[in-house]
């Protein structure tokens, strides 16, 4: 018989239907045993064959294909206990060991299946067709044919087929599968939308920016798959335990038989000393935790990352786009001329900056539009990189830029204005001076904004004895301003990418376990260097996400505290489960040595403990840590 048919039999016998049949025959055997009825063939044989075959298959497969001491597995020990029970005529005990192990395996599979249901839901959300506008006409095409730059129309209630930018229309989008947000998000022209999210209300036209495997949904699916395929060191430790448990249990069983000449005691020791709980509970805990995190828009790539996150006592965070929103907005508009209002100053600057491609100029224009100001037409637009711009607005020459730019054009900046500029710069704000003709009329200050949850994140981590350090390439004044707002005491600013990684190493050399949070390409070296790297998935670069161990699919920085709580709880649960297993084993072996347990009762005690720790791990999926 070839390997494939043998494997198919393994899968068939491991399934729920045959396991139920095995349980029925085991129950019949128990009834006959209690009633003292003897049959030519014990019904427990059916259970031994059905539930024992998968165990024997695993034991033999690992003996053939595993290397070194890993050939000795928990399946081997259980197979030996089952065989020994058959030899001494304890068929019910043999069937019971095999059946309860089968139940434990099914429980594990169901827990893993439950944790994996998130990825199946994600795959269902992946659209297979898109409505592309070709020569002014709508045409439904397979999603594989959609190209970057194509214009697509998405109607209310439809899934958005690819990542893109809205060109026309207003709507609300349910993007919970990507970001974990519970409420629909309002979207308008210029906003980004993600593949697989649902267009709730209005019709929109959008331009495709990421398609196929590069779309947000496909990246999310790949990340979840990577998380499920990785194996934590805690799991490997549990596997290694079987390599010394097998020789240990054989030695104890042999010594017991040598001194008591009681084969039943020796077999009972084999039955109760199986490392079933170790083999089942640990991976179930890890997968359940990864599944729960995925529900909340957090992708943990491996169980190893969970274990390391539990040890973290220092979180290093990038500033722009991570601690802050990364969007420059107008924070102040201050007029030096009593005849010009704040809106009047903003209107002058926005009209002059209307043709500017500079981010500060765009932010000024955006704020003017938000306030409903009517931007005036500009002529003779001129831009000097690094200095400023000039334009004629309604016959007036308007300049916007630095004090040096104004001075070059013969416009003086008074002492009060210089003092005001210094104060704004101390707050980490960028400034644009605005002149009309030969006079400086005012200053517009622009700034990034702190994320609403940044301060609460720092406080939450502090309660878990975890320090926060700000690492940024920005200037010291801006870094210190935002650090003060967020409640971060330690600031290291003006860092190039390599320097960020060096500071991570320095912290590690001081004995700290460091988690780095970033969003950009410049954060990738630090993310790789840190014990745990966390990328801001929805806004972060592809390189940052690839370098990180964990990805936040939204920009909710407060979930860092959630990840820390979940990791602590998972590792704590694994240790509890291992402790439960070892305590049960210790007492069961002691009772077996003194003949207080027989193979039947020993199997019940030991495997009931295995089921207990598996159920305990399964509950992790629904516990609340957020």
Q: Which residues contact 122 (CB under 8 A, 6 or more apart)?
A: 177, 196, 217, 220, 221, 224
Rounded Cα distance between 388 and 353, Å, is 10
Q: Which residues contact 191 (CB under 8 A, 6 or more apart)?
A: 165, 166
DSSP state of 1: -
Rounded Cα distance between 222 and 469, Å, is 31
Rounded Cα distance between 622 and 289, Å, is 9
Enter the tokens of residue 584: 């049960």
Beta bridge partners of residue 371, listed in sequence order: none
CB 559 within 8 A of CB 298: yes
Question: Closest Cα to residue 411, out of 429, 390, 393, 395?
Answer: 390
Rounded Cα distance between 43 and 50, Å, is 12
Give SS3 for 210.
strand
Rounded Cα distance between 271 and 588, Å, is 9
What HEC string does 62-113 produce?
HHHHCCHHHHCCHHHHHHHHHHHHHHCCCHHHHHHHHHHHHHHHHHHHHHHH
Enter the tokens of residue 273: 């000393």
Beta bridge partners of residue 517, listed in sequence order: 317, 534
Rounded Cα distance between 437 and 392, Å, is 10
Q: Environment class of residue 8 by beta-carbon count within 10 Å: exposed (0-12), middle (13-18) or buried (19+)? A: exposed
Of 150, 304, 318, 436, the catalytic one is 318
Residue 318 catalytic?
yes
Bridge pairing between strands 550-552 and 298-300? antiparallel
C-alpha count within 13 angstroms, C-beta hemisphere, residue 62: 20
C-alpha count within 13 angstroms, C-beta hemisphere, residue 12: 8
CB 69 within 8 A of CB 273: no
DSSP state of 213: G
CB 362 within 8 A of CB 327: no
Enter the tokens of residue 463: 């309660």
For every residue of 341-398, DSSP letters joined together read -HHHHHHHHHHHHTT--SHHHHHHHHHHHHTT--PPPEEEEEEETTTEEEEEETTEEE
Question: Closest Cα to residue 577, out of 605, 609, 604, 554?
Answer: 609
Bridge pairing between strands 388-393 and 378-384? antiparallel
CA dist 327 → 95, 471, 565 (Å)? 65, 19, 30
CA dist 396 → 73, 293, 376, 387, 496 (Å)? 85, 58, 11, 20, 43
Catalytic residues: 318
């Amino acid at each position: 018989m070839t390997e494939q048919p043998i494997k198919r039999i393994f899968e068939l016998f491991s399934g729920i239907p045959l396991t139920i049949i095995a349980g029925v025959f085991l129950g019949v055997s128990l009834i006959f045993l209690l009633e003292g009825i003897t049959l030519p063939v014990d019904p427990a044989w059916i259970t031994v064959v059905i539930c024992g075959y998968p165990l024997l298959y695993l034991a033999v497969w690992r003996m053939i294909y595993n290397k070194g001491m890993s050939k000795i597995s928990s399946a081997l020990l259980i197979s030996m206990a089952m065989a020994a029970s058959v030899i001494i005529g304890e068929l019910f005990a043999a069937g019971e060991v095999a059946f309860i192990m089968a139940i434990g395996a099914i429980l594990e599979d169901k827990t893993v299946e439950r944790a994996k249901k998130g990825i199946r839901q994600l795959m269902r959300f992946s659209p297979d067709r898109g409505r592309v506008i070709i020569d002014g006409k709508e045409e439904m095409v397979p999603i594989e044919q959609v190209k970057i730059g194509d214009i697509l129309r998405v109607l209310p209630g439809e899934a958005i087929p690819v990542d893109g930018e809205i060109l026309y229309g207003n709507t609300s989008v349910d993007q919970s599968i990507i970001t974990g947000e519970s409420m629909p998000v309002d979207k308008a022209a210029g906003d980004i939308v993600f593949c697989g999210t649902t267009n709730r209300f209005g019709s929109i036209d959008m331009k495709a920016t990421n398609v196929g495997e590069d779309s947000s949904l496909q990246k999310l699916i790949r990340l979840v798959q990577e998380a499920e395929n990785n194996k934590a060191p805690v799991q490997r430790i549990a596997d290694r335990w079987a390599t010394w448990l097998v020789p240990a249990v054989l030695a104890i069983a042999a010594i017991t038989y040598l001194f008591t000449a009681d084969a039943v005691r020796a077999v009972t020791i084999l039955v109760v000393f199986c490392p079933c709980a170790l083999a089942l509970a640990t991976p179930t805990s890890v997968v359940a935790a990864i599944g729960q995190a995925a529900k909340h828009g957090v992708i943990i790539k491996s169980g190893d990352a969970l274990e390391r996150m539990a040890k973290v006592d220092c979180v290093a965070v990038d500033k722009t786009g991570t601690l802050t929103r990364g969007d420059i907005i107008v924070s102040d508009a201050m007029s030096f001329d009593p005849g010009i209002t704040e809106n009047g100053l903003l209107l002058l600057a926005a009209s002059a900056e209307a043709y500017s491609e500079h981010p500060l100029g765009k932010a000024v224009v955006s704020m003017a539009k938000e306030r409903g100001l009517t931007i005036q037409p500009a002529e003779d637009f001129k831009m000097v990189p690094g200095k400023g711009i000039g334009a004629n607005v309604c016959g007036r020459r308007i300049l916007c830029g630095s004090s040096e730019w104004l001075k070059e054009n013969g416009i003086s900046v008074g002492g009060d204005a210089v003092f005001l500029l210094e104060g704004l710069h101390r707050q980490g704000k960028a400034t644009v001076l605005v002149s009309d003709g030969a006079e400086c009329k005012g200053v517009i200050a622009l700034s990034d904004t702190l994320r609403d949850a940044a301060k609460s994140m720092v406080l939450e981590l502090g309660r878990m004895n975890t320090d926060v350090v700000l690492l940024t390439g920005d200037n010291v004044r801006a870094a210190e301003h935002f650090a003060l707002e967020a409640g971060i005491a330690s600031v290291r600013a003006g860092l190039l990418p390599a320097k960020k990684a060096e500071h991570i190493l320095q912290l590690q050399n001081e004995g700290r376990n460091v988690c780095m949070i970033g969003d950009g390409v410049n954060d990738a070296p630090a993310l790789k260097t840190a014990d745990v790297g966390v990328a801001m998935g929805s806004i972060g670069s592809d390189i940052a996400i690839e370098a990180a161990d964990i990805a936040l699919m939204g920009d909710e920085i407060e979930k860092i505290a959630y990840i820390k709580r979940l990791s602590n709880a998972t590792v704590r649960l694994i240790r509890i489960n291992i402790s439960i297993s070892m305590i049960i084993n210790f007492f069961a072996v002691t009772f077996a040595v003194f003949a207080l347990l027989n193979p039947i009762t020993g199997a019940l005690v030991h495997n009931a403990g295995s089921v207990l720790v598996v159920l305990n791990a399964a509950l992790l999926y629904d516990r609340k840590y957020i």
